[in-house]
């Protein structure tokens, strides 16, 4: 195995594979910055170019591109509050407020360094999981996947405001997100739901127009209202030291970054959960780590931990997603499904062969993830100073370009003007949500997880009736879910008791 590990490295370092990886990274960089054109769509566009490549070259090219898109997606999230990728939305919640506080450099430094650490942990997980992955993936059937999605939803308690009223608002928004996710054709019976007679809604609402509307529009309105630059009238941040501070933050909160990376890997391994879920679960986990109510209230207002958690999970999930793709041919996400087609084009069949006969190619993927992320982060760090300066430019000069990015990005979802209208509708809704203090993250979590929950619930019931509720893994996950829900309350009680003891 060690020979294959080293051989994998040399396969990536061959000049042709390495050059192709750099080309892929260049493309991934641009794609990550542009909202809407997701990594998956670009992978699909690039598939025709891999026909004449060797397997290691093709994977260096495709994975290099995919890995970097996930990293640079965080840049627009921090600078403009516009998620560069649908999977970068959670970074907006604290990254953009940091930019508004004049800490764009710090936020970007933290996002990139945590992404790198996450990617390395993801790659390590992929390398280590190769011999042991089979029992893990096989242990997760539809009931366990359903429960996992429910655990994701239960993170709402951490994403809501403190106290009963905060929780009511949080749960309401989570349920509202779930309700919106039911728009479109129901997969079991084929019935159309809430389609309003519009063919556009048959497939349900696409993530990109909704997420871009939810996050970008209120930020743009706020920037217009303030009439200043993104960083406002605050004294200009020393960018170089800001970036360094962000890098140091990654290591100051290394344990959090590590845990969130593990969350990313785990969610990545499980088919259907998707990168957005990993980010939000990591964000919720970061919030859960707050020491007390005052500490918790810093989240959403520009706390670097809110950038570190999603940044790490976003990239570690790449390694996680590759595990079932390579080992079983079961793609963990849309992007991995496209990558699977590259396997077939290359004449490789995912499965046991990838863990024996073609092990060096599997390890070349691990090395591609590592090398591409290191190069991308180092390159980004050299230009971050310039990028972060954007936050000091007058808002009036930035807004038309950001709006353009928002709407072109949203249009790419289906290529219809209705995408723009959906963005506007959710932008208006989101504006009022922010204005009246209804939290957006639970809504997004509900929206992202809604289809997954419903699908796995019906498969579980159809396959096992309700006996699946007694399966040991499901029981363990139910207990975990209850702990996730109860954790903020337990934390609150403990703080009160501590306060009384101190008094």
Partner 1 sequence: MHRGRIVFCVFLMVVTASAIYLALEWPFKAKLFPLSVSIPLFILAGIQLLQLLVGKEEIIESAAVDLEFSSDVPPEIERRRVITAFSWIAGFILAVYLIGFPLTVPLFICFYLRFESGVGALPTIAATAITWAMFYGLFQKLVHLQFEQGAIQTWLGL
Q: Which is nearer to partner 1, 109 or 441 (CB)?
A: 441
Q: Which is nearer to partner 1, 219 or 249 (CB)?
A: 219
As beta bridge partners, residue 185 has 192
146 lies in the site for partner 1, by CB under 8 A: no
Burial classification of residue 376, based on how many CB atoms lie within 10 Å of its CB (0-12 exposed, 13-18 middle, 19 or more buried): buried
495 lies in the site for partner 1, by CB under 8 A: no
- State both tokens at 493: 């009680």
427 lies in the site for partner 1, by CB under 8 A: yes
Residue in 12, 25, 60, 93 binding partner 1, rule: CB under 8 A: 93
28 lies in the site for partner 1, by CB under 8 A: no
Distance CA 10, CA 371 (A): 12
Q: Which of residues 379-398 bind partner 1 (CB under 8 A)?
A: 394, 396-397
408 lies in the site for partner 1, by CB under 8 A: yes
Q: Which DSSP state fits 330?
A: -
Contacts of 358 (CB under 8 A, 6+ apart): 55, 348
**Alpha carbon 20 to its chain's center:** 26
- State both tokens at 484: 């996730």
CA distances 18 to 91, 143, 330, Å, are 30, 42, 27
Q: How many residues does the chain have?
A: 503
Q: Which of residues 218-237 bind partner 1 (CB under 8 A)?
A: 218-222, 224-227, 232
- Asked if 16 and 64 count as a contact pair (C-beta separation under 8 A), the reply is no
- Give the per-residue contact string, 291-330, with partner 1 (x = CB under 8 A; - = no): -----xx-xxx-----------------------------
166 lies in the site for partner 1, by CB under 8 A: yes
How many chain residues touch partner 1 (CB under 8 A)? 84
- Name the 3-class secondary structure at 193: strand
217 lies in the site for partner 1, by CB under 8 A: yes
363 lies in the site for partner 1, by CB under 8 A: no
User: How many Cβ atoms from other residues are within 10 Å of residue 146's Cβ?
Assistant: 23
Q: Which DSSP state fits 394?
A: B
- State both tokens at 134: 């089979």
Residue in 115, 160, 261, 391 binding partner 1, rule: CB under 8 A: 160
- Give the per-residue contact string, 185-214, with partner 1 (x = CB under 8 A; - = no): -x-xx-x-xx--------------------
**Alpha carbon 431 to its chain's center:** 23
In the complex, what is the shortest distance from the CB of residue 219 to partner 1, in angstroms, rounded to a whole number?
7
- Name the 3-class secondary structure at 84: coil
37 lies in the site for partner 1, by CB under 8 A: yes
Q: Which is nearer to partner 1, 153 or 348 (CB)?
A: 153
In the complex, what is the shortest distance from the CB of residue 169 to partner 1, in angstroms, rounded to a whole number?
7
23 lies in the site for partner 1, by CB under 8 A: no
Q: Applying CB under 8 A, which part among 216-224, 266-274, 346-354, 479-487 lies near partner 1?
A: 216-224
Q: Which DSSP state fits 416?
A: S
335 lies in the site for partner 1, by CB under 8 A: no
In the complex, what is the shortest distance from the CB of residue 413 to partner 1, in angstroms, rounded to a whole number?
11
275 lies in the site for partner 1, by CB under 8 A: no
- Name the 3-class secondary structure at 229: strand
Contacts of 389 (CB under 8 A, 6+ apart): 239
416 lies in the site for partner 1, by CB under 8 A: yes
- Asked if 350 and 326 count as a contact pair (C-beta separation under 8 A), the reply is yes
Phi/psi at 128 (5° precision): -75, -30
Q: Which is nearer to partner 1, 150 or 239 (CB)?
A: 150
In the complex, what is the shortest distance from the CB of residue 394 to partner 1, in angstroms, rounded to a whole number?
7
436 lies in the site for partner 1, by CB under 8 A: yes
Distance CA 295, CA 301 (A): 11
415 lies in the site for partner 1, by CB under 8 A: yes
Q: Which of residues 448-477 bind partner 1 (CB under 8 A)?
A: 453-454, 457-458
- State both tokens at 42: 């670009």
Q: Applying CB under 8 A, which part among 115-123, 140-148, 346-354, 439-447 lies near partner 1?
A: 439-447
């Amino acid at each position: 195995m060690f020979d294959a590990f080293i051989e994998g490295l040399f396969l990536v370092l061959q000049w042709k594979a390495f050059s192709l990886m750099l080309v892929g990274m260049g493309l991934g960089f641009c794609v990550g910055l542009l909202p809407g054109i997701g990594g998956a769509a670009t992978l699909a566009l690039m598939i025709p170019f891999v026909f004449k490549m060797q397997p290691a070259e093709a994977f260096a090219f495709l994975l290099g591109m995919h890995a970097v898109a996930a990293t640079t997606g965080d840049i627009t999230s921090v600078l403009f509050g516009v998620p560069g990728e649908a999977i970068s939305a959670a970074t907006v919640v604290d990254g953009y407020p940091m930019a508004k506080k004049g800490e764009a450099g710090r936020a970007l430094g933290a996002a990139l360094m945590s992404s790198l650490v996450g990617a390395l942990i993801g790659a390590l997980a992929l390398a280590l999981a190769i011999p042991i992955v089979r029992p893990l993936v096989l242990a997760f059937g539809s009931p366990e996947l359903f429960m996992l999605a429910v655990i994701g939803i239960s993170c709402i308690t951490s994403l809501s405001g403190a106290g009963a009223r905060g929780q009511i608002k949080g749960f309401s928004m989570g349920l509202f997100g779930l309700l919106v996710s039911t728009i479109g054709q129901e997969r079991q019976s084929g019935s159309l739901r809430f389609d309003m007679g519009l063919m556009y809604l048959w497939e349900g609402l696409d993530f990109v127009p909704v997420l871009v509307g939810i996050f970008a529009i209120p930020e743009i309105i706020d920037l217009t209202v303030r009439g200043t630059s993104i960083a406002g009238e605050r004294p200009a941040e020393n960018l170089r030291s800001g970036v360094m501070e962000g890098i140091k933050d990654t290591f100051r909160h290394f344990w959090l970054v590590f845990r969130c990376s593990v969350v990313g890997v785990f969610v990545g391994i499980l088919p259907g959960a998707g990168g957005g879920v990993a980010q939000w679960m990591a964000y919720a986990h970061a919030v859960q780590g707050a020491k007390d109510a005052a500490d918790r209230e810093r989240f959403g207002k520009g706390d670097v931990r809110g950038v570190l958690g999603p940044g790490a999970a976003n990239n570690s999930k790449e390694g996680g997603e590759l595990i079932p793709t390579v080992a079983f041919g079961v793609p963990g996400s849309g992007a991995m499904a496209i990558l699977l087609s590259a396997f077939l084009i290359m004449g490789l069949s995912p499965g046991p062969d990838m863990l024996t006969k073609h092990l060096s190619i599997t390890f070349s993927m691990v090395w591609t993830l590592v090398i591409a992320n290191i190069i991308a982060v180092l390159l980004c760090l050299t230009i971050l100073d310039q990028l972060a300066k954007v936050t000091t430019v007058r808002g009036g000069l930035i807004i038309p370009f950001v709006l353009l990015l928002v709407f072109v990005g949203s249009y790419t979802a289906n290529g219809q003007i209705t995408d723009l209208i959906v963005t506007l509708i959710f932008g208006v809704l989101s504006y009022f949500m922010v204005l009246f203090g209804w939290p957006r993250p639970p809504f997004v979590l509900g929206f992202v997880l809604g289809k997954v929950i419903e699908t796995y619930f019906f498969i579980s019931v159809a396959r096992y009736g309700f006996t699946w509720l007694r399966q040991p893994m499901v029981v363990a996950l139910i207990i975990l879910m209850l702990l996730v829900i109860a954790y903020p309350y337990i934390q609150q009680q403990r703080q009160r008791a501590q306060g009384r003891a101190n008094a």
